[in-house]
Structure formats: structure tokens, C-alpha cells
């Protein structure tokens, strides 16, 4: 091979390499969650039981604010609904693993969660309050709860546990698998107070006035925004869910349903199965 031929070969190889570097990247894989839901004919929703977000009636059927929201969402999509009850502490890994399409379960939007899932715009707003044992914590101030002799209960994996750790670092934080267990510790006098999303602490106090009161004169320990959670990269689904929320906020449906479940227990408490 002559020197001229070698030079031509080297220049050609260089041109191919540069062209490859400058060529546009292959398009990302298309978002197909909406297509998958419509093809399947079913929306699969991950949730966990939190009164009054989601709970079971005496016949074992699901009821609550989240159940209404997810059911209407599926109806508006023209598909059936399937709820996938999941332990709260593992619900985000279950979403990422593809066990269901979306979390609709009163999940607070936090930066830490947003690192692993995408959130819609808020469709509901709540906050964290505490219910306290009358005998153990009557008249307690915020500082009184922040003592090494104080036991505070929460449901494992929820925002409330983090709030307790941040605001009451000296107290003993007791974590349980569900709200009913955490609340029972307060009823039994083993914990001074339990934290949960409003309105549950007020409902507990209303149902057990001789034993329980809403701590700190009803003050909220935090205010939150709840959103649907979807897997990363599901942009079309996120857009659809956001617009669905926008429409149902504008027409008042979300507020009407929220008021029904959160303003009073009167219309539904008799239907709830015991122990929730």
C-alpha cells in the first residue's frame, strides 16, 4: 500500500468516527404506559389502607377517598379498575418493579421520593397531626413531647415518622406496620402520642374522648401535598393524569369528594370494618 493510499484510508476512518460523534442520538423508547393500560383494558392502582383515604367495609370491599378518585379516573379512561393492596413501606419499590401502573394512595410529595418516582400536580392537601393519651400527655407542649421518657408512635415508612424524628429527636420513636397498631399503643398507654395524616387523629379523639385528645391544641406538625406517583419516564401518562386532576379540580368534583370523606365521619363510619 502506498503512502497516499494509507493517508486516504486514515482520513476516511476519521471522517466516519466524527460523523458518528455528531450524529443525533437514537430516540428514547416511546412512553407506552397509557397504551398498555388501554390495551389491557384495566388501570392497576397501588394503594395501602389509611382511613379515610382507603379502607374496607364490613364485606371486605374497598371504600374511601382514594378509591373514589382511582375509580373515576379509570371510568374516564374507559377501562376497568384493579386495586393492588401493598404494604406502604414497599409501595415505591413495587411501583418501580411494575406491579401496578400508578400509586394513588395519599402519598405526600417529597424531594426524596421524587428522586425515584415522578409525581403529578397535587390533587389533595392534608397534613400531620398527633393524637395523645389523656393520662400520659394532658397539656403537653411541643417541648414536653421532646423528652427521652416519651414514646411516640407512627406507621413505618410514612412521612409522619420522619417528622417525629426531626421535631422530637430526644423521644423514642416506635414504628408499626399500620396505623391501627400505632394507635392501639396510645390507647393502651404504651405511647404518649401517635402521628398520622389529618383527619385521622381528630377521628380517633372523637371516637375515644375519655382516652384520647388531639395534641398541641390541634396544631399541624406539617402541611402536605399529595400526588399520584408514576415510574420515571412515563411522560404521556404524567401529562394525562395532570390534566385529569386539573379538570376535576376545576369542576369541583375532587373538592366535593374530599369534603365528604374528610370533613365528617357521619356519612360513612358505620360501614367501616373494625380495627382500621
3-state SS class at 163: helix
pLDDT at 31 (0 to 100): 58
How far is the C-alpha of 237 from the C-alpha of 101, rounded, in Å? 10
Mean pLDDT, range 215-219, rounded to an integer: 95
Place of cell 386532576: 245
| Cβ density class 213-224: b for 16+ within 10 Å, e for less | bbbbeeeebbeb
Span between the terminal Cα atoms of the chain, in Å: 85
- Comparison of pLDDT for 45 and 32, the residue scoring more: 45
Using one digit for the tens of pLDDT, what is the confidence trace for 59-80?
A: 999 999 999 999 999 999 999 9
pLDDT at 264 (0 to 100): 87
Using one digit for the tens of pLDDT, what is the confidence trace for 147-186?
A: 999 999 999 988 899 999 999 999 999 999 989 999 999 9
CATH number of this structure's domain 33-123+227-266: 3.40.190.10
Instruction: State the CATH class of domain 127-223.
Output: alpha beta
Percent of the chain with pLDDT over 70: 89
How far is the C-alpha of 205 from the C-alpha of 183, rounded, in Å? 11
C-alpha cell at 248: 376535576
How far is the C-alpha of 127 from the C-alpha of 225, rounded, in Å? 8
The whole model's pTM is what? 0.74
Please name the residues in contact with 233: beta carbons below 8 A apart, sequence gap of 6 or more.
28, 31, 118
Using one digit for the tens of pLDDT, what is the confidence trace for 78-130?
A: 999 999 999 999 999 999 999 999 999 999 999 999 999 999 999 999 899 99
Q: What is the DSSP letter of 219?
A: -
Q: Taking the domains of the chain in order of start, what are their residue ranges?
A: 33-123+227-266, 127-223
- CATH topology match: 33-123+227-266 vs 127-223: yes
Amino acid at each position: 500500500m502506498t503512502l497516499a493510499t494509507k493517508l486516504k484510508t486514515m482520513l476516511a476512518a476519521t471522517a466516519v468516527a466524527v460523523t458518528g460523534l455528531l450524529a443525533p442520538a437514537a430516540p428514547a423508547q416511546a412512553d407506552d404506559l397509557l397504551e398498555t393500560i388501554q390495551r389491557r383494558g384495566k388501570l392497576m392502582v397501588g394503594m395501602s389502607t389509611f382511613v379515610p383515604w382507603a379502607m374496607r367495609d364490613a364485606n371486605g370491599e374497598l371504600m374511601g377517598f382514594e378509591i373514589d378518585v382511582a375509580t373515576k379516573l379509570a371510568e374516564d379512561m374507559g377501562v376497568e379498575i384493579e386495586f393492588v393492596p401493598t404494604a406502604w413501606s414497599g409501595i415505591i419499590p413495587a411501583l418501580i418493579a411494575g406491579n401496578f401502573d400508578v400509586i394513588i394512595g395519599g402519598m405526600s410529595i417529597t424531594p426524596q421520593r421524587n428522586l425515584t418516582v415522578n409525581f403529578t400536580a397535587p390533587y389533595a392537601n392534608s397534613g400531620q397531626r398527633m393524637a395523645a393519651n389523656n393520662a400520659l400527655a394532658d397539656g403537653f407542649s411541643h417541648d414536653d413531647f421532646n423528652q427521652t421518657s416519651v414514646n411516640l408512635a407512627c406507621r413505618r415508612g410514612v412521612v409522619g415518622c420522619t417528622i417525629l424524628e426531626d421535631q422530637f429527636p430526644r423521644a423514642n420513636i416506635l414504628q408499626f406496620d399500620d396505623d391501627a397498631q400505632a394507635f392501639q399503643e396510645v390507647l393502651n398507654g404504651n405511647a404518649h402520642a401517635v402521628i398520622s395524616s389529618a383527619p385521622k387523629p381528630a377521628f380517633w379523639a372523637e371516637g375515644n374522648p375519655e382516652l384520647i385528645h388531639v395534641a398541641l391544641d390541634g396544631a399541624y406538625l406539617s402541611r402536605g401535598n399529595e400526588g399520584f406517583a408514576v415510574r420515571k419516564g412515563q411522560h404521556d401518562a404524567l401529562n394525562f393524569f395532570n390534566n385529569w386532576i386539573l379538570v376535576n379540580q376545576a369542576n369541583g368534583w375532587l373538592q366535593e369528594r374530599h369534603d365528604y370523606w374528610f370533613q365528617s365521619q357521619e356519612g360513612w363510619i358505620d360501614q367501616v370494618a373494625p380495627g382500621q
